[in-house]
Structure 1
Amino acid sequence: MKKLYLLLGVVLLLASCNTNQKKNQEEKIPTEQNNGIGDGAPSLSTAFANTIESTHNKEAFLNNNNVSFDISLNFNGEERLAGTFIMRTNSSKVKYITKDSTTIIYDGKDVYMSPENSNMKSARFDILTWPYFFALPFKLTDPGTVWGDVEQISEKNKSYSRAKLSFKNDVGDTSDDWYQVYADNETNLLNYASYIVTFGKSLDKAEENPHAILYENYQVIDGVAISDKWKFYNWSEEKGLFGEPLGEAKLTNIKFVESVDYTVPENASEVKLPTTK
């Protein structure tokens, strides 16, 4: 029975992708490079971002108030993270409960950890980073996003559309972060994204060691395409993804939730942004 459900899910996902592709072709949305300067048509990069969001069904995703998932994250064969994330679908609030019952909450502005004597040095990074990776296909046109030109890339006998995503200066803890977003040209699904992490470090230092997250095993959950398996790789402009996977995340129990209590516990302590090195 489980195999039957999985097969049906794959069929639905492919049908959804094909429908979106056909719709895009029929509509023939006028696009321009150079950020759409001219007769008001959207730029190619805007159309690129909109197409990925549409393929993943951003509208259905945002029609739900909250989404939750269990995560098991490993790097170099060692457990890095294990617990449950619950978040507003618009990312305005996030709660993370570790397997040892430490609770971290992002209230839309600040981050808190409970109990206050919890020894979790990466609390602020974790509450902001992994939910962002989860929601990335639905956040490509968020306020403050800045897109570069769309390129056609061939990598390991597969073709992609690619564009660079960066952010305006006042966006989040790490506005210097950037992503190279790769969409599969056959499905328009987000295939992978290379990225840098400037959390607690300078831009120059971060750009010495870019990585990538590969999204695999897409499932259709209430009409929304969500990857439940991530792999992490080294990445370079010349090689793209290269080497063996550095880590892997498995997501289970993914579900939409109507109501969630994001109240900060009384015994919580605020988690400050670290000093840049």
Structure 2
Amino acid sequence: MNKIATTLLLASLVFIGCKSNEKPETFTEKTEKAHQKEIFSIKQAIQFDLKLDFGGQERMDAKFTILTNSTEGVIEFKNGSKIVYNNDKVYYSPTIPNEEAVRFDAFTWGYFFLFPYKLTDPGTIWNPYTNNEKDKDNFNSEKLTFKSGTGDAPDDWYVVYTDIKTNLLAKAAYIVTIGGNKEEAEKNPHAIQYLDYKEIDGVQVATKWVFWGWKEGTGLTDEIGHAALTNIKFVTVDESTFKTDANFKTK
């Protein structure tokens, strides 16, 4: 074998060796890549209209404006009232439609929207999940829990499913422990299904949510609600976007 052939052989072996030593992408890396998290993260804020109903009754019809790093957001209702949050502080107009749910509304719906871009936030813990559902071959799935002290409800957990072909978020089962306890919440888990993806400035965004009951080993059970997301766009904001008035309450 001549020197050139030997050199090429050695180079190819080194290349193959390097490739074989590369770590496979994790569940979260694949999902974030599919949702173009890098593009999303360099944008300042995202805005969308959310129309949400449960059991045939309207639950919310409002415009959301949220920083892509999730630290600040505002929800504007049809009657002119607002919910504004800054990290863990929540402020709201006294004319808010549902005062009891202010803190829940401030963080829950925005979190569901931002979920694909928050998979590796501080405090997240990922573990393998054994999916025994009938359609298990259509999804990759893992379970998300949180370190103590993370957010308003660190006892919440999510079983997250991504489409096995696209790695886009398909659905997420979850429990809600805010205002209650984990044991009671686990008796009635729900799931959110992400549908009708559209590309918004290079980023994949689900424009339809469907809410279901959920049972381990069975998966989705009864449909309980749905949401339509429209007028989705990246926007530029300033301090006035999240401004509160003297009559705002805190929660």
Pair 1:109-2:88 in alignment: yes
Distance 1:247 1:140 in 2: 24
Alignment correspondent of 2:158: 179
* Residue in structure 1 matched with residue 12 of structure 2 by the alignment: none
CA deviation after TM superposition for structure 1 residue 101, in Å:
1.3
Q: Residues 214 and 264 from structure 1, CA distance in 2 versus in 1: closer, same or farther, beyond 3 angstroms?
A: same
Kept in 1: contact 2:131–2:217 (CA 8 A): no
The structural deviation recorded for 1:149 is 1.7
Q: Residues 110 and 270 of structure 1 are in contact (CA less than 8 Å); yes or no, is this contact kept in structure 2?
A: yes
State the 1:151 CA deviation.
Answer: 4.5
Moved over 2 A (4+): 26-29, 115-120, 150-158
Letter in 2 for 1:255: K
Q: Closer, same or farther in 2 for the Cα pair 1:160/1:115, shift >3 Å?
A: same
Matches within 5 A, 1:188-227: 188-227=167-206
Output one character per residue of 1:22-49: Cα deviation in whole Å (capped at 9) or x when no partner.
xxxx898415xxxxxxxxxxxx7xx101
Query: Kindly tell me: are residues 220 and 155 of structure 1, through their superposed partners in 2, closer, same or farther at Cα, counting changes over 3 Å?
Result: farther
Tell me if 1:63 matches 2:56. no
Go from structure 1 to structure 2 and tell me whether the alpha carbon gap of 1:27 and 1:84 turns closer, same or farther (over 3 Å shift): farther
Alignment-derived partner of residue 247 in structure 1: 225
Unaligned runs of 5+ in 1: 1-25, 32-43, 272-277
**What's the counterpart of residue 268 of structure 1?**
248
3-state SS, counterpart of residue 111 of structure 2: helix
In the TM superposition, residue 139 of structure 1 has moved relative to its aligned partner by 0.5
Structure 2 residue 157 is matched with structure 1 residue 164:
no
Letter of the 1:91 partner, please give it.
S
Q: Aligned residue for 1:30?
A: 23
**TM superposition shift of 1:221:** 0.2
Would the aligned equivalents of 2:132 and 2:217 in 1 still touch at CA under 8 Å? no
Alpha-carbon distance between aligned partners in 1 of 2:191 and 2:20, rounded to the nearest angstrom: 33
TM-score (norm 2): 0.87
TM-score by length of 1: 0.79
Cα distance, 1:263 vs. partner? 2.2
Aligned CA RMSD, in angstroms, stands at 1.9
**Structure 1: distance between partners of 2:221 and 2:21:** 36
Say which of 92, 101, 119 aligns to 1:122: 101
Give aligned-pair identity as a percent: 41
**DSSP 3-state at the match of 2:191:** strand
How many correspondences in the alignment?
231
